[in-house]
Chains A and B, each alone.
Chain A
Amino acid sequence: MLRTLTVTLSMALAAALPALPVLAQDGPLKIEITDGVTEPMAIAIPPFHGDAAVAQKIRGVVAADLTGTGLFREIAANAATAPGSFGEAIAYEDWRAVSAQALVSAEVTQAGDAISVKFRLYDVYAGQAQGDGMQFDARAGDWRRAAHKIADQIYARLTGEQPYFDSRVAFVQETGPKDARIKRIGVMDYDGQNILWMTDSASLVLAPQFSRDGRRLVYTSFDSGFPQIRVMEVATVTSRAMTQDANSMAFSPRFSPDGRWIAYSREQGGNTDIWLMDAASGAQRPLVQSPAIDTAPSFSPDGQRIVFESDRSGSPQLYVVGVGGGEPARISFGDGRYGSPAWSPKGDLIAFAKQVDERFHIATMRTDGSAEKTLTESFLDESPTWAPNGRVVMFTRVTPGGNGQPRLHSVDITGRNMRPLSLDFAASDPSWGPLMP
């Protein structure tokens, strides 16, 4: 199902544009993403060159990816004289005059079902190219991925962070009235496009979670009448039951980073504990057992630890335990009820949902529980998931009332740039997959 997208450094392109001497005294153009107020970088993205009909659509996606981060603002393409063709010299003075800091020039050509996109990024103030020119070859139907690849390159070069635009998100679509909701698992591009449906609406499904390689989803299904865990192969849209014990509910599953294990909640006699399952054989063993509710496990990126939610102290709080077992260590000590923890793929932070009085928040803390930082507030925010670069959190925001609906939103880990995902239906339980190769 994953269509091939070849990425080739265009050596000819690089040769045609001899590197200019480095003029900047303070290194390459770069946005520092910090908690302080950041003025968005002004970037010019003039119309892409080339005869491909899809050229300006690609340009639009590149611009939307970059400005959607809140880290860039787009300078009107006609503010200064754009290069007349791809590779033509840049009128740096003109672009400096309109305060452009970066400029993108690109060309899209098409031959049958194949498109080819070349681009270059320029540092306007330094008056030089920033990084090599690159060429992406793709099938015409994959033009959005080609656009995301270009935007990823620009984002990575200008922020120094790993990118995340060429990635997918699994989610649950919600339709029907609130007391008889119909739920369906889908997979989409991170920006809500190219939706693929993974399940029909016949049975209730909850909280799909991507494997780190993006090939599988693990989720909770009521198709047997009781909540059980299933694994879906995304490419073939085939699923199989991993648990089938009607006397023991199984839910809230997540893959280990290497995909070999599934941590999940297992209920027996009303008590919910955390178990580990071999994803290949289905063999299961308990990891955290207590008379309290222990649920919502999430692995650290090295696969050695698990953060989870437990009410053993009297109210739901976050705890960390090694995958070998042992006594869990409580890490949350603030006011309120903590839940739905998600360990950042960078390993530095844990995102979670927090209920204080009657309000919900998405927040982050360091993995030892320090430096708690609140990112959002609403009637009901939950189920945070991390962008593959650990810079952005997507989550579910539910509006109150009989017509209340869940919507997916994202927010930067600085707490800025909160925005709803553009979807024309209600959705919940996002799981952000990996950056695609």
Chain B
Amino acid sequence: MIAWTKPAAAVLLLTLAACAQPAPPVTQSAVVDPYASAGGGALYQGQLVGGTLGAEATPEYFNNTVGNTVLFAANQTALTAEARAILARQAQWLNTHTNFNAVVQGHAEETGTREYNLALGARRASAVQEYLIAQGVGSDRVRTLSFGKERPREVCSDEGCYAKNRRAVTVVSPAGAGS
């Protein structure tokens, strides 16, 4: 199935506008399998399980264009309106690219004890997981993990960095690729 839905098109247009990247190719013909033995290639024999071909079906696209990170207020685990908008896009991408699974990594800022921040990060990851599942993503496709305060994105010790470190990051990878 090759999806070419309106929202996906909108996302693509966004990509063009924002990054001026070349338009992802939309291949509708049979796919040539370069690894087949027949000279000149052969018709792809496998089954494409959902998912467009091309740049949209990559973790890079998910990370950079869909948006892999949502932020939280200090000591909070509730999703903001902005976070929900990002997660709606994540859910849409995951619902389109069903050959990808996701691990949601919860994080906390450096203030607070190590143990509490691990639990807080787990809460944040779980809030994201629940939202994605509510948006139709299969519960067996989304796992959670907390790094607590062990993996800050920004290293300074003021609110400017803390605000970016109180986050949940959705990491997508092809199903069956481990983790």
Contacts and interface: CB of A to CB of B under 8 A. Distances in A.
Given A227-B146, A269-B126, A270-B125, A429 B155 contact: no
Interface in A391-411: 398, 400-402, 404
Given A178-B155, A249-B145, A270-B126, A309 B116 contact: yes
B144 A251 contact: no
A48 to B, nearest CB: 43
A86 interface: no
Contacts of B113: 296, 309, 316, 339-340, 353, 382-383
The interface size bin for chain B is 20 to 34
A337 interface: yes
B143 to A, nearest CB: 7
B110 interface: yes
Contacts of A178: 152, 155
A272 interface: yes
Contacts of A309: 113, 115-116
Interface in B122-150: 122-123, 125-127, 129-130, 143-147, 150
B155 A400 contact: no
Contacts of B126: 269-271
A121 interface: no
Interface string A255-299: 000000000010101111000000000000000000001011000
A267 B122 contact: yes
A379 interface: yes
B111 A355 contact: yes
Contact of B116 (A267, A295, A401): A295
B157 interface: yes
A27 B87 CA distance: 74
A296 B114 CA distance: 9
Given A270-B127, A400-B157, A296 B146 contact: no
A311 B125 CA distance: 18
Secondary structure class of chain B's binding surface, majority of residues:
mixed
B115 A252 contact: yes
A204 interface: yes
Interface residues of A, number: 46
B157 A401 contact: yes
A88 interface: no
A360 B112 CA distance: 9
A340 B150 CA distance: 16
Contacts of A339: 112-113, 115-116
Output the residue of B111, B115, B143 with the most chain A CB within 10 A. B115
Contact of B115 (A271, A296, A358, A402): A296
Given A249-B146, A272-B118, 19 more contacts: A178-B155, A204-B147, A207-B114, A225-B179, A251-B118, A265-B118, A265-B119, A270-B127, A270-B130, A295-B119, A296-B116, A316-B116, A339-B113, A353-B113, A383-B113, A400-B157, A401-B155, A401-B156, A402-B156
11 contacts: A179-B152, A181-B150, A225-B145, A267-B119, A272-B118, A315-B75, A337-B112, A339-B113, A380-B110, A380-B111, A402-B155
Interface of A: 177-181, 204, 206-207, 225-227, 246-247, 249, 251-252, 265, 267, 269-272, 293, 295-296, 309, 311, 315-316, 337, 339-340, 353, 355, 358, 360, 379-380, 382-383, 398, 400-402, 404, 429
